[in-house]
Amino acid sequence: MMKKQYVLIGLSLLISLFIYLFYRTERTVVNELVIRLISVETYMNLKTSILRILPLNDVAVYSLPEGLWMFCITLTSKPYYIRLNGWRIDCVCIPLIFCLTLEMLQLLHVTNGRFDLMDIGIFVLFWLLGRFKLNEGVEKRHLWTQMNGKTWVCLSSYGIVYLAHVLK
């Protein structure tokens, strides 16, 4: 993966983290972790100040972070494929399937969250951006053949979704 892609991935994840920390519920896993690190009072004071200084609309708060995350997992998945029952599956398709599945689970109330067509539109837009931009022309390799830093970045980018989970 090119250095430019890592910068885009890092910046996208930082923007998502910022939005989750200060605009979403305190009950997300990432916010619970931060509150435990800095105290609830410090967190709430910081959150109040940021909300006053930088108001954001609902699309930026509720759809943009997922879109940016989709962009990141698409970029990190591009160099890989997996084999499943004799089929070669391009890993660049997995983020779209993953996100659509999560939305469907929300629609069916199997998981926390609210089904939103705007989220699906944002997912698809950012998936297309990640899929067709920044092609590095590298030959695809099987995801599990060589575990290295790039492979770990790819796999951990999927795990980041847990940090957005809302605790009950």
Indicate if the pLDDT at residue 1 is higher than 60: no
Q: How many CB atoms lie within 10 A of CB 96?
A: 21
Indicate if the pLDDT at residue 164 is higher than 80: no
Give the model's confidence band at 165: pLDDT under 50 very low, under 70 low, under 90 confident, else very high: low
- DSSP 8-state assignment for residue 109: T
Q: How many domains does the chain have?
A: 1
pTM: 0.84
pLDDT tens track for 103-152:
999 899 998 778 889 999 999 999 999 988 766 666 788 787 877 878 88
User: How far is residue 141 from each of residues 76, 79, 90, 113, 138, measured CA to CA in Å?
Assistant: 13, 6, 10, 35, 9
Determine which of 4-13, 82-91, 111-120, 153-162 has the lowest per-residue pLDDT on average.
153-162
Instruction: Please tell me the predicted confidence (pLDDT) of residue 33.
Output: 92
Instruction: Please tell me the predicted confidence (pLDDT) of residue 168.
Output: 57
Encoded tokens for 142 = 């099987």
Q: Which residue has the higher pLDDT, 37 or 25?
A: 37
Q: For all residues of the chain together, what is the average pLDDT?
A: 87
Q: Which residues lie across from 90 on neighbouring strands?
A: 81
What domain range includes position 145? Answer: 3-164
Indicate if the pLDDT at residue 153 is higher than 90: no
- What is the C-alpha radius of gyration for the chain, rounded to an integer number of angstroms? 17
Of 103, 105, 34, which Cα lies nearest the Cα of 63?
103
Give the model's confidence band at 28: pLDDT under 50 very low, under 70 low, under 90 confident, else very high: confident
- DSSP 8-state assignment for residue 133: S
